[in-house]
């Protein structure tokens, strides 16, 4: 026998895809169970309208959709009619250009169409209403139930057992591991359980005490009678699937009729416990009765956009349940507490085969090599993000906004403020413009700094980049390089690692040599087994057996817990503490008088850590700066935070101290060339291509990812590259395609105007041969091609004179 005993709960598109992929990898003790009849089990797959639009702001989601298209096509479960999104407003037309950029950046063929070309593709459209379109030739219709059937058939041929009409009643856990699944048809022993139960997921996960943050929401799908323009159509669908996002609508053909999906109605959430059983449900459990009144605006709008539908009527409809999440991403991975309990949840048909593939690799190989899953990991959430009220409110809001045009900086619309740092009241007095980060209210800039604009000529970005922006951002950035500024770093994840095994633990998990003197700080990386970057962290040694780690989020904490040995204690200390960056040429003038000679030029060197007092406030101080200036990160307990801010502020006034927001921060860090995990580099990149080879110490001994990394080292084919852009109005935002001539060769990760260097700065992944300084490329930005030049990095203070000063 090869592979452990696996029970997959749910025979929908995800469970079926996983069974097929896992059995293809040679695992041969797999059982798929479902409460309903296979292949139409009564879950979301059984009523899914099957539209596959691959374009997504997430590279991973686009890639998983592409894999789904390829696989379902090969299996004869896909009608490749193309996908057309039309614009009926100027804002949407602009948005389609941005979406065209995403598709292109992620390697998906996409075309912008004129109104005439839209009608050529889809003859039912009223040409007078359409301003333009985005066409993706490989989009189309997935036959979800057939996909379940075909994939399960292949799985069965490889020995997978499929048990339908088996309702899961409970899951047995022994010593923190799954042991078996109790079903209405008996107990099934299991080493691995994968919950692919879709809308029932929260109920199944609760059987092992796991909170699964998803909400089933009803979504309207209606079918017309015969449409005159489709009369006699012999094929199920010939025209592209169609999206009319300005009115929250989409369309597909079914012979001479149209299916109409609508997101414009009020959110209709339901809990997993309220879903009817297979036997009690009239149609199926995931289908609730059509509420005709909610559909009225959709029908009126349809008759306007597709005038031929005026001669028919709505003949049937459903309110079908689908899973929504708080960030619109799936929930994949292993429970943090129960070993062997995995979930693959909140997955739409669009990404189903890709997720099946991803999960099979993750289970069988220990990591996923086909897709970067960091945005999908079920352990990404902060504790408050699992609260039922939070999940419900944000999931419903995401339903409302599903087709809206969302700016990358747009803060959530509800439940704010959620988390506030101890500096919050001070920041409000200073007129902070707040955005949200991991639930924290975080200032983007401060209106009180408007006076800094006197005598400065801060260039304005274009329309899109100027949202959630103020010229004050530029003034704060410049002031930070001239005097001294306070930056609220409370949202930075802080993890304490303590105990006799702490050093060995961090040596094993990180690429750095952290076994240095007490007071040392090490910038290093966490790698996956395959050498991909999982995070970049700072490790401050505060005692022989005590470290403070500056991390990027909950996934780092989860990674630590998963690898923890019995002789380390790992604690997330973020919530009970706070952090302020005191940075700028005058930082020492402010801090030293408050903290004493230990904080003097010779007493406190760059990349060292110390405990001390700033006025009456006990602090842990790290001498480093993500904005590339002299100064410290000062940490204290939450109760002392306001006092810390106040003493620094008062002492700083004679030196021209200002508060700086995240807008300035992001600009300054890009000038300095500091990467941001999750945006600039992710699991799919290794340190050498990301320009972080200096943070790897292969000679220190073994660590996770070392072997794979050494093999990857010689084959660097792409590089995270610094580009500069002339003309502030051309500053881009991230995720734009980069062209060499007509071909897309890479994409932008993050970008900002550099107020010190007087240029736009953009980091982009480019092939090695195009990454040499002086190389000219073009960034696709809406309808423009913005020239950009590869620059020697970092743009600011390459000699490190500021930081070491
Ligand atoms: N502060 C702390 N921890 C952090 C961050 C932070 N952890 C997560 C994230 N931010 C990590 N990112 C960086 C990026 C660069 C640096 C620090 C954290 C940095 N780099 C020096 C350089 O490249 O010049 C390293 C020099 C060296 O290795 O000696 O300072 O903001 N606490």
Please report, for the domain that includes residue 537, its CATH number: 3.30.70.1400
CB atoms within 10 A of CB 571: 13
Question: Domain for residue 106, yes or no?
Answer: yes
Question: Domain for residue 267, yes or no?
Answer: yes
Identify the pLDDT of residue 37. Answer: 95
Dist. CA 537 → ligand 1 center (Å): 7
Question: Domain for residue 516, yes or no?
Answer: yes
- Alpha carbons 648 and 626: distance in angstroms, whole number: 19
Q: Domain ends where: 325, 352, 375?
A: 325
- Alpha carbons 730 and 635: distance in angstroms, whole number: 38
- Six token digits for residue 287: 């289908």
Half-sphere exposure of 406 (CA within 13 A, CB side): 17
User: What tens digit of pLDDT does each residue of 185-200 get?
Assistant: 999 999 999 999 999 9
Most informative mutation of 550, 634, 662, 696 for ligand 1 (most atoms within 8 A of CB)? 550
Is residue 208 a contact partner of residue 338, using CB atoms and an 8 Å limit? yes
- Six token digits for residue 178: 């799954």
Q: Indicate whether 106 pLDDT > 80.
A: yes
Find out whether the beta carbon of 88 lies less than 6 Å from any atom of ligand 1: no
Which ligand 1 atom minimizes the distance to the CA of 622?
32
Q: What is the mean pLDDT of residues 720-730?
A: 93
Identify the pLDDT of residue 529. Answer: 94
Is residue 66 a contact partner of residue 56, using CB atoms and an 8 Å limit? no
Count Cβ neighbours within 10 Å for each residue of 255-284 and write b for 16 or more, e otherwise. ebbbbbbbbbbebbbbebeebbebeeeeeb
In this prediction, residue 3 has a pLDDT band, given cuts at 50, 70 and 90, of: confident
Q: Indicate whether 477 pLDDT > 90.
A: yes
Find out whether the beta carbon of 108 lies less than 6 Å from any atom of ligand 1: no
- Alpha carbons 805 and 795: distance in angstroms, whole number: 18
Residue with tokens 């009409």: 165
Q: Domain ends where: 516, 547, 573?
A: 573
SS (H, E, C) 7-32: EEECCCHHHHHHHHHHHHCCCCCEEE
Q: Domain ends where: 325, 344, 374?
A: 325
In this prediction, residue 232 has a pLDDT band, given cuts at 50, 70 and 90, of: very high
- 250 noted as active-site residue: yes
Q: What is the mean pLDDT of residues 131-152?
A: 98
Is residue 675 a contact partner of residue 691, using CB atoms and an 8 Å limit? yes
Identify the pLDDT of residue 1. Answer: 66
Question: Domain for residue 381, yes or no?
Answer: no
- Six token digits for residue 134: 């985005």
> What letter does residue 40 receive in the DSSP assignment?
S
Question: Domain for residue 784, yes or no?
Answer: no
Q: What is the mean pLDDT of residues 74-90?
A: 98
In this prediction, residue 729 has a pLDDT band, given cuts at 50, 70 and 90, of: confident
Find all residues with CB under 8 Å of 476, minimum gap 6, and list them. Answer: 445, 446, 449, 452, 485, 658, 659, 660, 661, 663, 664
Length, in residues, of the chain: 805
Q: Which of 540, 545, 503 is nearest to 523 (CA)?
A: 540
Percent of the chain with pLDDT over 70: 100
Is residue 277 a contact partner of residue 269, using CB atoms and an 8 Å limit? no
User: What tens digit of pLDDT does each residue of 566-585 get?
Assistant: 999 999 999 999 999 999 99
Least confident of 2-6, 22-26, 61-65, 316-320: 2-6
Question: Domain for residue 308, yes or no?
Answer: yes
User: What tens digit of pLDDT does each residue of 671-696 get?
Assistant: 999 999 999 999 999 999 999 999 99
Domains identified in the chain, total number: 2
- 248 noted as active-site residue: no
CB atoms within 10 A of CB 673: 20
Residue with tokens 């109409």: 260
- Six token digits for residue 92: 């949407």
User: What tens digit of pLDDT does each residue of 285-329 get?
Assistant: 999 999 999 999 999 999 999 999 999 999 999 999 999 999 999
Catalytic member of 139, 536, 572, 686: 536
- Six token digits for residue 329: 């991403």
**Mode of pairing for the β-strands spanning 132-136 and 83-87:** antiparallel
Terminal CA-to-CA distance of the chain, rounded, Å?
63
CATH label of the domain that carries residue 225? 3.30.9.10
Transcribe 280-316 into DSSP letters: T-SS-TTEEE--HHHHHHHHHHHHHHSGGGGGS-EEE
Question: Domain for residue 603, yes or no?
Answer: no
User: What tens digit of pLDDT does each residue of 751-796 get?
Assistant: 999 999 999 999 999 999 999 999 999 999 999 999 999 999 999 9
Identify the pLDDT of residue 484. Answer: 98
CB atoms within 10 A of CB 286: 28
CA 717 to chain centre: 25
- 536 noted as active-site residue: yes
Identify the pLDDT of residue 722. Answer: 98
Catalytic member of 47, 122, 219, 685: 219
Per the structure, the complete domain to which residue 555 belongs is given by 493-573
In this prediction, residue 108 has a pLDDT band, given cuts at 50, 70 and 90, of: very high
- Alpha carbons 563 and 510: distance in angstroms, whole number: 12
- Six token digits for residue 523: 């910038």
Alpha-carbon distances of 186 from 4, 34, 43, 165, 690, rounded to whole Å: 20, 13, 22, 11, 51
- Alpha carbons 60 and 370: distance in angstroms, whole number: 9
Q: Which of 168, 155, 216 is nearest to 194 (CA)?
A: 168
- Alpha carbons 47 and 43: distance in angstroms, whole number: 7
With 0-12 CB in 10 A as exposed, 13-18 as middle and 19+ as buried, what is 597? exposed
> CA-based Rg of the chain, rounded to a whole angstrom?
27
In this prediction, residue 279 has a pLDDT band, given cuts at 50, 70 and 90, of: confident
- Six token digits for residue 566: 């019995």
In this structure, which residue's CA is closest to atom 25 in ligand 1? 523
In this prediction, residue 727 has a pLDDT band, given cuts at 50, 70 and 90, of: confident
- Six token digits for residue 431: 């007129």
- Alpha carbons 609 and 606: distance in angstroms, whole number: 9
In this structure, which residue's CA is closest to atom 28 in ligand 1? 523
Find out whether the beta carbon of 676 lies less than 6 Å from any atom of ligand 1: no
Q: What is the mean pLDDT of residues 148-171?
A: 98
Find out whether the beta carbon of 550 lies less than 6 Å from any atom of ligand 1: yes
Q: Indicate whether 511 pLDDT > 70.
A: yes
pLDDT, averaged across the chain: 97
Instruction: Please work out, in degrees rounded to the nearest 5, the angle formed at the alpha carbon of residue 67 by the alpha carbons of 64 and 73.
Output: 140
Question: Domain for residue 315, yes or no?
Answer: yes
């Amino acid at each position: 026998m090869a592979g452990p005993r696996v029970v997959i709960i749910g025979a929908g598109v995800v469970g079926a895809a996983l069974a097929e992929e896992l059995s293809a990898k040679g695992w041969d003790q797999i059982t798929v169970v479902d409460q309903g009849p296979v292949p139409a089990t009564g879950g979301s797959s059984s009523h899914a309208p099957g539209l596959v639009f691959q374009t997504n702001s997430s590279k991973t989601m686009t890639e998983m959709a592409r894999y789904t298209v390829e696989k379902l096509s090969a299996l004869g479960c896909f009608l490749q009619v193309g996908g057309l999104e039309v614009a009926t407003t100027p804002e949407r037309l602009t948005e389609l250009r941005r979406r065209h950029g995403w598709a292109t950046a992620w390697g998906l063929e996409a075309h912008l169409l004129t109104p005439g070309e839209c009608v050529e593709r889809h003859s039912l459209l009223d040409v007078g209403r359409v301003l333009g379109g985005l066409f993706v030739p490989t989009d189309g219709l997935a036959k979800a139930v057939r996909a379940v059937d075909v994939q399960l058939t292949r799985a069965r041929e490889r020995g997978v057992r499929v048990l339908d009409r088996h309702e899961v009643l409970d899951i047995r856990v022994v010593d923190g591991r799954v042991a078996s699944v109790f079903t209405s048809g008996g107990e099934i022993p299991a080493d691995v359980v994968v919950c692919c139960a879709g809308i029932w997921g929260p109920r199944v996960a609760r059987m092992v005490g796991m909170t699964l943050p998803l909400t089933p929401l009803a979504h309207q799908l209606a079918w017309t009678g015969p449409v005159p323009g489709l009369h006699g159509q012999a094929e199920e669908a010939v025209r592209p699937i169609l999206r009319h996002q300005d009115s929250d609508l989409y369309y597909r053909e079914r012979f001479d009729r149209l299916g109409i999906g609508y997101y414009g109605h009020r959110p209709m959430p339901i809990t997993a416990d309220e879903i009817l059983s297979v036997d009690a449900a009239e149609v199926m459990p995931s289908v609730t009765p059509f509420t005709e009144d909610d559909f009225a605006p959709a029908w009126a709008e349809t008759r306007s956009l597709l005038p031929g539908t005026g001669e028919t009527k709505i003949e049937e409809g459903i309110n079908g349940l689908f899973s929504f999440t708080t960030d619109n991403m799936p929930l994949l991975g292993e429970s943090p507490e129960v070993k062997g309990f995995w979930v693959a949840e909140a997955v739409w048909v669009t990404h189903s085969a890709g997720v099946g593939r991803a999960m099979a690799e993750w289970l069988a190989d220990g990591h996923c090599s086909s897709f970067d899953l960091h945005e999908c990991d079920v352990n990404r959430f902060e504790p408050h993000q699992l609260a039922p009220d939070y999940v419900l409110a944000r999931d419903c809001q995401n339903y409302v906004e599903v087709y809206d045009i969302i700016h990358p900086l747009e803060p959530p619309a509800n439940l704010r403020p959620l988390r506030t740092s101890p500096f919050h009241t001070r920041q409000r007095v200073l007129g902070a413009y707040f955005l949200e980060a991991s639930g924290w209210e975080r200032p983007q800039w401060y209106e009180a700094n408007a006076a800094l604009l006197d005598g400065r000529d801060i260039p304005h970005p274009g329309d899109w980049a100027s949202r959630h922006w103020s010229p004050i951002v530029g003034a704060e950035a410049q002031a930070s390089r001239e005097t001294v500024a306070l930056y609220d770093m409370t949202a930075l994840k802080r993890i304490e690692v303590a105990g006799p095994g702490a050093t060995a633990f961090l040596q094993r998990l990180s690429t750095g040599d952290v076994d240095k003197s007490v007071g040392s700080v090490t910038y290093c990386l966490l790698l996956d087994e395959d050498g991909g970057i999982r995070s970049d962290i700072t490790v401050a040694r505060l005692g022989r057996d005590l470290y403070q780690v500056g991390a990027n989020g909950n996934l780092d904490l989860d990674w630590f817990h998963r690898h923890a040995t019995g002789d380390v204690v790992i604690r997330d200390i973020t919530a009970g503490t706070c952090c302020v960056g005191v940075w700028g040429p005058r930082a020492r003038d402010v801090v030293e008088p408050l903290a004493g000679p230990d904080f003097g030029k010779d007493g406190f060197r760059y990349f060292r850590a110390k405990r001390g007092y700033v006025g009456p406030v006990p602090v842990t101080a790290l001498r480093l700066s993500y904005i590339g200036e002299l100064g410290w990160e000062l940490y204290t307990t939450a109760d002392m935070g306001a006092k810390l801010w106040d003493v620094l502020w008062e002492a700083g006034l004679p030196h021209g101290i200002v508060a700086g927001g995240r807008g300035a921060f992001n600009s300054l860090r890009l000038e300095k060339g500091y990467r941001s995990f999750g945006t600039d580099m992710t699991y799919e990149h290794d340190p050498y291509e990301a320009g972080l080879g200096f943070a790897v110490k292969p000679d220190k001994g073994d660590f996770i990812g070392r072997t794979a990394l050494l093999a990857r080292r010689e084959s660097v084919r792409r590089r995270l590259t610094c580009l500069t852009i002339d003309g502030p109005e051309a500053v881009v935002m991230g995720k734009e395609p980069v062209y060499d001539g007509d071909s897309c060769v890479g994409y932008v990760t993050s970008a900002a105007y550099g107020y010190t260097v007087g240029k736009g700065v953009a980091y982009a992944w480019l092939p090695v041969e195009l990454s040499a300084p002086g190389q000219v490329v073009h960034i696709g930005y809406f309808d423009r091609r913005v020239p950009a030049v590869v620059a020697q990095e970092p743009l600011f203070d390459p000699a490190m004179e500021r930081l070491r000063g």
